[in-house]
C-alpha cells in the first residue's frame, strides 16, 4: 500500500490572510495563485499493517516533533476517509530551499495528500483532494493544480465548499516570477501566527475584507484577458494591503527588511522606465517580482546589482500534482 507524488509550491497574487476556522483551515477570504515550476516536494507514503506508529522522514532525517505531529494529524484525516487504522511511513524530499523564500507547507501537504490517498486506493477527484490538502495547510489546496488557481473561501461550516480550482493551465499564459532573496537575520513570525494576530487585533483587517474580493475579480478578469499589466497592478496593490493590515496588529507584524524596500523602489523605477514589472511579498522579507518573459534578463540583471540582493531564482508557471 505505497504511492509517491510530487507537488510544486505556489505564489499568491491575491493573498490568503486570516482564518475563520483554525482547525479546518477555512479562510476569511478567497485567494488566487500561480503554481511554480522550480520548487517542489516529493513524498512517498506506505501504509503497513505491522507498524505501531507513524514515521516521518524529511530530507533523509527524522523530522522534528512539531513538524512530525502535523503530518501524523494529517494522516489521521486520510485514515478516517479510508476507514483504516494502519500506520504509515512517510518519506519526504523538500526541493524548496528555506532560503528560497517560499513556504514548503503548500507543496508538502499537497504531495502528502496525493500520495496518501493513492496509497490507500481512495478514489478522490481533484476537488476532494484540494479539500483534504487544505486541512494540512491552507495554501496547499492550491498546489493540487498547475498554472493559475483560485481558492474559493466557501461559506459552509464543514469546509466542503472551500477548495481550489484551475483558471488557466501553465501552458496558457507564461509570465516570469523572480524570487529575489535579501539578507535577513530576523526571527520569523510564522504565517499562521501572523495572520491570527492580524485578524484578532488589527483595526485595518476589516478594510482588507472590504476589498479583497474585488481584487480577486479584477485579477481573474486580467487572467481571462491575458492582461499582464492589470494582473501585476492588482497583485502588487493586494500584497501591500495585506502587509498594511499586519502593521496595525498588536504587537505589529513587520516582515520587511531594508533590502525589501530597496527592491520595491527598484521595481518602481524600472516601471518608470517603461518596463511592465510588479512585486508581491509574502510573510517574509523576500520579494517576488513579476515580469514578462521578454524582460526577464533585464529585470534580473538590474535587481542583482542591488547590494542587499543575495540571489535571484527565476520561475515560471508549473504543473499540478504528478505521481512518481
Q: Which residues bind ligand 2P0 (CB under 6 A)?
A: 12, 15-17, 25, 31, 103, 105, 137-139, 191-192, 282-283
Nearest CB to ligand 2P0, comparing residues 137 and 300: 137
Closest distance of CB 106 from ligand 2P0, Å: 6
Nearest CB to ligand 2P0, comparing residues 127 and 192: 192
DSSP of 154-219 = ---TT-TT--EEEEE-TTT---EEEEEEE---PPPPPHHHHHHHHHHH-TTHHHHHHHHHHHHHHH
Closest distance of CB 285 from ligand 2P0, Å: 13
Strand partners, 311: 181
Q: Are 124 and 132 in contact (CB under 8 A)?
A: yes
Using CB atoms, what's the residue nearest to ligand 2P0? 138
Nearest CB to ligand 2P0, comparing residues 26 and 303: 26
User: Counting runs of H as helices and runs of E as strands, what totals does the chain give?
Assistant: 8, 14
Closest distance of CB 253 from ligand 2P0, Å: 11
Cis peptide bond prior to 44, omega within 30° of 0: no
Nearest CB to ligand 2P0, comparing residues 46 and 282: 282
Closest distance of CB 252 from ligand 2P0, Å: 16
- Which of 114, 77, 73, 76 is closest to 92 using CA atoms? 114
Q: Are strands 87-95 and 55-58 parallel, antiparallel or unpaired?
A: parallel
- Burial of residue 157 (CB within 10 Å: 0-12, 13-18, 19+) is exposed
Nearest CB to ligand 2P0, comparing residues 138 and 259: 138
Closest distance of CB 202 from ligand 2P0, Å: 15
Distances (CA, A) of 29 to 155, 174, 216, 322: 10, 26, 10, 28
Nearest CB to ligand 2P0, comparing residues 199 and 270: 199
Closest distance of CB 48 from ligand 2P0, Å: 28
Amino acid at each position: 500500500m505505497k504511492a509517491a507524488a510530487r507537488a510544486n509550491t505556489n505564489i499568491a497574487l491575491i493573498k490568503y490572510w486570516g482564518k475563520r476556522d483554525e482547525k479546518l483551515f477555512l479562510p476569511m477570504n478567497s485567494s488566487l495563485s500561480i503554481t511554480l515550476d522550480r520548487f517542489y516536494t516529493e513524498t512517498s507514503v506506505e501504509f503497513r499493517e505491522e507498524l505501531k506508529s507513524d514515521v516521518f522522514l524529511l530530507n533523509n532525517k527524522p523530522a522534528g516533533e512539531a513538524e512530525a505531529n502535523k503530518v501524523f494529524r494529517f494522516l489521521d484525516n486520510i485514515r478516517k476517509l479510508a476507514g483504516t487504522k494502519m500506520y504509515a511511513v512517510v518519506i519526504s524530499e523538500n526541493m524548496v530551499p528555506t532560503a528560497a523564500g517560499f513556504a514548503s507547507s503548500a507543496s508538502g501537504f499537497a504531495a502528502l495528500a496525493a500520495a496518501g490517498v493513492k496509497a490507500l486506493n481512495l478514489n478522490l477527484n481533484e476537488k476532494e483532494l484540494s479539500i483534504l490538502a487544505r486541512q494540512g495547510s491552507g495554501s496547499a489546496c492550491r498546489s493540487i493544480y498547475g498554472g493559475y488557481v483560485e481558492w474559493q473561501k466557501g461559506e459552509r461550516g464543514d469546509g466542503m465548499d472551500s477548495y481550489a480550482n484551475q483558471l488557466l493551465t501553465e501552458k496558457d499564459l507564461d509570465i516570469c516570477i523572480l524570487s529575489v532573496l535579501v539578507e535577513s537575520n530576523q526571527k520569523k513570525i510564522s504565517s499562521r501566527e501572523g495572520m491570527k494576530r492580524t485578524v484578532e487585533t488589527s483595526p485595518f483587517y476589516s478594510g482588507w475584507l472590504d476589498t479583497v474580493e474585488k481584487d480577486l475579480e479584477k485579477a481573474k478578469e486580467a487572467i481571462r484577458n491575458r492582461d499582464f499589466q492589470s494582473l501585476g497592478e492588482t497583485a502588487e496593490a493586494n500584497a501591500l494591503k495585506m502587509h498594511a493590515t499586519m502593521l496595525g496588529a498588536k504587537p505589529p507584524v513587520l516582515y520587511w527588511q531594508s533590502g525589501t524596500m530597496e527592491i520595491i523602489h527598484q521595481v518602481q523605477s524600472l516601471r518608470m522606465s517603461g518596463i511592465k514589472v510588479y512585486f508581491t511579498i509574502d510573510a517574509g522579507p523576500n520579494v517576488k517580482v513579476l515580469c514578462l518573459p521578454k524582460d526577464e534578463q533585464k529585470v534580473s540583471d538590474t535587481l542583482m546589482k542591488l547590494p542587499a540582493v543575495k540571489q535571484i531564482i527565476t520561475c515560471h508557471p508549473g504543473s499540478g500534482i504528478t505521481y512518481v
